[in-house]
Chain A
């Protein structure tokens, strides 16, 4: 029996075996490299943290000390007291820095940066935390809490402004009484002027022998008094108008302040929500960008920024 065999498939089994073995070696090397890159082979230990609520924490989020990544959040679970237990997986080599007085807090890297758990360095004379020991957590203020604080500070100021306007507008208050007194004074001045006129006429009769110069002086004085009289009359006419205008202005100010208060009451509760939404949107965009940057081959095209960028210095400048 004649067996027909294509010469290209001679030793086929051996070739396939060699190729598969090479692929297995490549796979093993790559796994080793990835493991080394992601610190899979470094020794780690666990620390526990208990927080009031789990908002902002995600599994795998970075744990940093002095700005360096030292571990990640391994797990999040709700305990019997309805509080949240976190388990941090920390590289063993950083254990010496995390001591019994060290604290953990949830912070953001910049306005739109990732949320991370930041651990503070403990005092030198205090013992380092051991496996499964508890690290104390320090609460940081959220945007909604900051907005509430701001609202609490603004409210008394607006209330004071309203108080001042009420005081200015009070009919029995100092300002209104002063205005009334001023009006009365203006009326009395008219009376005084009439008395002065009659006194002058009387004086003219009594002192008929006084020189012409004195008469002129008296005439001038009379003119002056006349002018003063006309000024007072004019003031008398204008004063009520001014007072009415001032009253209208005060009422307008009061109305504006009331409107402002309403607007503030309506808008303030929405501010934290809007801030939160904006932050979420930015966070989402940031995540997408990070994800795209991390995709091969794009990731290989992104070069690490250089630190040593100097202004070119000419030797003869």
Chain B
């Protein structure tokens, strides 16, 4: 009996060992990539890191190297990624001509199959929007929205809503934004959620719903503060200033705009600081007239 036990144990041990060994063999290994492709991915990653640090020159040179390597092995997908990333940095640098060339080259590479179509169409819409061609930008924005199957759908809808609002369709923009808000919340994309709220605040302000507008700007401000996005915080504060001014509280509005000006100045955003200063001058004039009128009365 004892001998029988030992045999059974040995068989069980052998079966267990062979199962573990074969299981190890059956594990699907990551397919090794070729050397140039690995190097290209490395450059792409370094470019994204440089862009996050704000070093756009370095980012562009990394994407350019990634493009060269991907091109040397005729990898269209990798080339499209490098071109879209280059276009994004070129657009942010204000070099719209180069950005447009990069996007057009990426579109020609996708040749009907539209690999990474959503990112590609989105960048095309952003480049067209930056160049002032809002009609074409809206067309490509809608295509990007339709092509998006992942978490970025809320971001795509935000862009479409922004373009609709700039073209004078606040109702359609509002409808899109309400959907975008839900999607961005679900995907935990706080920056985009804040963008939805800020734009909703702007629409409510235009439509005269000052309380709703104020609430939306406040929501956007909380989210932007949590993310530490200075330029967006300044925009939220200016929005709250505009709402307060429309309600007739000029000193209150001046306080909001002063806060916004402080944020823009310290963040080095001269353009926004200048716009806020102009708005403040206008409010001080209104405040002076109001005081004069009160004195006369």
Closest CB-CB distance, B174 to chain A, in whole Å?
16
B92 and A317 contacting across the interface, CB-CB below 8 Å: yes
List B190-227 residues whose CB lies under 8 Å from chain A.
Answer: 191-192, 195, 198-199
- Among B44-52, B245-253, B266-274, B284-292, which stretch is in contact with chain A? B44-52
Q: How far is the CA of A317 from the CA of B229 in the complex (A)?
A: 11
Q: Is A308 an interface residue (CB 8 A)?
A: yes
B18 and A23 contacting across the interface, CB-CB below 8 Å: yes
Q: Is A316 an interface residue (CB 8 A)?
A: yes
A313 and B27 contacting across the interface, CB-CB below 8 Å: no
Q: How far is the CA of A308 from the CA of B41 in the complex (A)?
A: 9
List B10-44 residues whose CB lies under 8 Å from chain A.
Answer: 11-12, 15, 18-19, 22-36, 38-39, 41, 44
Given A19-B12, A66-B74, A315-B155, residue A310 in contact with residue B81 (CB < 8 A): yes
List B139-172 residues whose CB lies under 8 Å from chain A.
Answer: 155-156, 158-159, 162
- Among A52-60, A229-237, A296-304, which stretch is in contact with chain B? A296-304
> Which single residue of chain B is at the shortest CB-CB distance from A317?
B92
List B55-107 residues whose CB lies under 8 Å from chain A.
Answer: 59, 73-74, 77-78, 81, 84-85, 88-89, 92
Given A66-B74, A294-B29, A315-B192, residue A309 in contact with residue B15 (CB < 8 A): no
Interface centre among A299, A303, A305, A316 (most CB of B within 10 A): A316
Closest CB-CB distance, B51 to chain A, in whole Å?
5
Residue in A34, A290, A309, A313 whose CB lies within 8 Å of B44:
A309
B159 and A27 contacting across the interface, CB-CB below 8 Å: no
Map CB proximity to B onto A22-48 as digits: 1 under 8 Å, 0 otherwise: 010011011001100100000000000
Given A9-B4, A110-B35, A310-B119, residue A303 in contact with residue B30 (CB < 8 A): yes
Give the size of the chain B interface in residues (CB under 8 angstroms): 59
Closest CB-CB distance, B10 to chain A, in whole Å?
11
B195 and A300 contacting across the interface, CB-CB below 8 Å: no
Q: Is A109 an interface residue (CB 8 A)?
A: yes
Q: How far is the CA of A66 from the CA of B74 in the complex (A)?
A: 9
Q: Is A16 an interface residue (CB 8 A)?
A: yes
Residue in A12, A29, A311 whose CB lies within 8 Å of B89:
A311
Contacts of B8 in A (CB 8 A): 12, 16
Contacts of A30 in B (CB 8 A): 22-23, 25-26
Given A34-B26, A303-B30, A309-B41, residue A67 in contact with residue B74 (CB < 8 A): yes
A33 and B26 contacting across the interface, CB-CB below 8 Å: yes
B4 and A316 contacting across the interface, CB-CB below 8 Å: no
Interface centre among A113, A294, A309 (most CB of B within 10 A): A309
B22 and A26 contacting across the interface, CB-CB below 8 Å: yes
Contacts of B48 in A (CB 8 A): 309-311
B27 and A305 contacting across the interface, CB-CB below 8 Å: no
Contacts of B38 in A (CB 8 A): 305
Q: Is A20 an interface residue (CB 8 A)?
A: yes
Q: How far is the CA of A294 from the CA of B29 in the complex (A)?
A: 8
Map CB proximity to B onto A211-236 as digits: 1 under 8 Å, 0 otherwise: 00000000000000000000000000
Q: How far is the CA of A23 from the CA of B14 in the complex (A)?
A: 10
A67 and B88 contacting across the interface, CB-CB below 8 Å: no
A110 and B19 contacting across the interface, CB-CB below 8 Å: no
Interface size on A, as a range, is 35 or more
> Which single residue of chain B is at the shortest CB-CB distance from A313?
B88
Contacts of A306 in B (CB 8 A): 41
B1 and A110 contacting across the interface, CB-CB below 8 Å: no
A20 and B30 contacting across the interface, CB-CB below 8 Å: no
Closest CB-CB distance, A107 to chain B, in whole Å?
11
Contacts of B73 in A (CB 8 A): 67
> Which single residue of chain B is at the shortest CB-CB distance from A68?
B34
Contacts of A110 in B (CB 8 A): 35-36, 39
> Which single residue of chain A is at the shortest CB-CB distance from B88?
A311
Q: Is A314 an interface residue (CB 8 A)?
A: yes
Q: How far is the CA of A110 from the CA of B92 in the complex (A)?
A: 34
Q: Is B116 an interface residue (CB 8 A)?
A: yes
Given A20-B15, A27-B18, residue A307 in contact with residue B25 (CB < 8 A): no
A12 and B4 contacting across the interface, CB-CB below 8 Å: yes
A26 and B19 contacting across the interface, CB-CB below 8 Å: yes
Q: Is A6 an interface residue (CB 8 A)?
A: yes
Q: Is B122 an interface residue (CB 8 A)?
A: yes
Q: How far is the CA of A9 from the CA of B59 in the complex (A)?
A: 70
Given A20-B15, A299-B30, residue A315 in contact with residue B158 (CB < 8 A): yes
Map CB proximity to A onto B174-196 as digits: 1 under 8 Å, 0 otherwise: 00000000000000000110010
Closest CB-CB distance, B152 to chain A, in whole Å?
9
Q: How far is the CA of A305 from the CA of B31 in the complex (A)?
A: 10
Which B residues form the contact surface with A (CB < 8 A)? 1, 4-5, 8, 11-12, 15, 18-19, 22-36, 38-39, 41, 44-45, 47-48, 51, 59, 73-74, 77-78, 81, 84-85, 88-89, 92, 116, 119, 122-123, 126, 155-156, 158-159, 162, 191-192, 195, 198-199, 232
The 9 closest A-B pairs by CB, nearest first: A110-B35, A296-B24, A315-B158, A304-B30, A30-B22, A113-B35, A315-B159, A109-B35, A23-B15
What are 14 contact pairs spanning A and B, CB under 8 A? A37-B28, A67-B34, A110-B36, A297-B27, A299-B29, A302-B29, A304-B33, A306-B41, A309-B41, A311-B48, A311-B88, A313-B155, A315-B156, A315-B158
